[in-house]
Amino acid sequence: MTRLNVNDARCEALFVSGLRRSDVPTPAGLAELVSAAVRQFGVSGCAGRMAQEFGDDPEAAVDRMRWIRQLVGEVPVARPPRLGAQPLARCCPDPEGPAADELRPAA
């Protein structure tokens, strides 16, 4: 069984995205490109399209993947916020407030 490496999946998605060497992406921009490619092709679709490029033009594909891996190393891909996620301060008990066992009804 092959284990999914999130960093590899991000690189594959960026590989098949419209990202160009002349672009100057931000971490948020890279995250959006990854999300768009995964929405359009799916994770396995990104891997399949990348594999096709390696079969069609291996030298260009190697250069592109090398550049993308270098880019991801220099400008980490930001993680998009989870839908419905709440800020930490709103989802956790107040450290100054009552302890968790004080909130339980007495037996």
Q: Is there a domain that residue 99 lies in?
A: no
Domain contains 100: no
Query: Which residues have C-beta within 8 Å of that of residue 32, sequence separation ≥ 6?
Result: 80
More confident: 10 or 87: 10
pLDDT, residue 65, reads: 95
Q: Is residue 13 part of a domain?
A: yes
- 92 pLDDT more than 60: no
**20 domain residue, yes or no:** yes
The per-residue pLDDT for 57 is 94
Q: How many domains does the chain have?
A: 1
Neighbours of 92 (CB within 10 A): 9
Work out the burial of residue 97: count CB atoms within 10 Å of its CB; fewer than 13 is exposed, 13-18 middle, 19 or more buried.
Answer: exposed
Q: What is the mean pLDDT of residues 25-29?
A: 87
Please report whether residue 91 resides in a domain.
no
pTM over cut 0.85: no
State mean pLDDT over 9-28.
91
Flag whether 103 is in a domain.
no
In a domain, 89, yes or no: no
> Within a domain: residue 105?
no
Confidence of residue 1 (pLDDT cuts 50, 70, 90): very low
Residue 25 lies in domain:
6-81
Chain centroid to Cα 25, Å, comes to 14
| Contact in structure between 49 and 41 (CB atoms under 8 Å) | yes
